[in-house]
Amino acid sequence: MRIATFNVNGIRAAQRRGFEAWLAERAPDVVALQEVRCPAAALPTGVFGDYHLAYEPGHLAGRNGVAVLTRTRPAAVRTWDGEVLMRAPDEEHLHTELSPAGTMARGLTPFASEGRYIEVDLADSPVTVASLYLPKGGLPARLQKPGGRETPDGGVKYQRKMGFLASFARQLDRSRKAAKAAGREFLLLGDLNVAHTRQDLTNWRTSNKAEGFLPEEREWFGTIVSPRTLVDVVRSVHPEADGPYSWWSWMGGAFDRDTGWRIDYHLATPGLARRAVTAGTDRPASGPERVSDHAAVVVDYAD
């Protein structure tokens, strides 16, 4: 079973850059997408090929949006705001379906309508697959300086991300345990906007004061992975490697120099993680071939 996660940085732009060719060539059985960033009515025709689409666009115009593509219609779909947009391969329109109302962890309500999370129960395999787009955040007030890359905000974005991390950890634990109770493995896919270790970014020595590699963010990441709960699948397959990176800035020749970050993950329950046969990043051969500022992270799991 081939499973991919891909932050497409806007599905309409990704289509122009070759997303459909990537999808056809790699032929995953399941694809989690982040930053689809497209109103349902404006989704490009045919962009998802012969896949069933479950899409949570959120209500922030031009931002976020998560989806899961599957070969067969999912057995169940859940989102945080209680509805999901569905389309079968032979349908020309999306329709809204109510997803089962669940209890969200305290603190997640402000994020519920932002298009950040969707999970599906696969119909042809005992696995629950989730797609997450975690807030990018910002710097704490103590590290902000006038004239920097972003206008100082007093740490508002930082505090918002840290609040999300604390709440999502509780929600993630619930989802993992619910899957186990149903006899399913659990797989969290997506852009977590955190590089966990020094192996996960090129310039780690100078990034300890950069959002995405702050000590408190890395500490949080360490609390959600363990041999008994969720396993970082790519790292388990490549324990000694730098990277493989999944994001490079469009700026400054970062891609050509392979100055990247590994912020896109497969986090799987141990039983599923042990079935990983190959794992890596679909890094294009050259900059002009890039579909997104991210690359797909693809894992083949033994049936």
Q: Is residue 156 part of a domain?
A: no
Q: Is residue 126 part of a domain?
A: yes
**Amino acid present at 103:** T
Q: Write the pLDDT tens digit of every residue in 79-135.
A: 998 889 999 998 877 778 776 656 789 999 999 999 999 999 999 999 999 999 999
Task: State the average pLDDT over residues 268-275.
Answer: 98
Q: Is residue 106 part of a domain?
A: yes
Q: Write the pLDDT tens digit of every residue in 215-245.
A: 999 999 999 999 999 999 999 999 999 999 9
**DSSP 8-state code for residue 169:** H
CA dist., res. 66 & res. 78, Å (int): 12
Furthest C-alpha separation in the chain: 54
Q: Is residue 146 part of a domain?
A: no
- CA distances (Å), origin 293, targets 6, 73, 169, 245: 10, 29, 27, 11
Taken in order 278, 10, 18, 259, the sign of the CA dihedral is negative
Q: Is residue 191 part of a domain?
A: yes
Task: Note the pLDDT of residue 98.
Answer: 74
CATH of the domain at 251: 3.60.10.10
**298, 34, 44, 40: which is closest to 190 by C-alpha?**
34
Taken in order 57, 212, 227, 238, the sign of the CA dihedral is positive
Q: Give the count of domains, the chain.
A: 1
The structure tokens listed for 71 are 């070969």
Task: State the average pLDDT over residues 286-293.
Answer: 96
Q: Is residue 114 part of a domain?
A: yes
What percent of the chain shows pLDDT beyond 90? 87
Q: Is residue 154 part of a domain?
A: no
Mean model confidence pLDDT for the chain: 95
Task: Note the pLDDT of residue 247.
Answer: 98
Q: Which domain holds residue 76?
A: 2-134+162-301
Q: Is residue 8 part of a domain?
A: yes
The structure tokens listed for 145 are 């300086």
Judge whether residue 203 has pLDDT over 60: yes
CB contact at 8 A, 300 and 1: yes
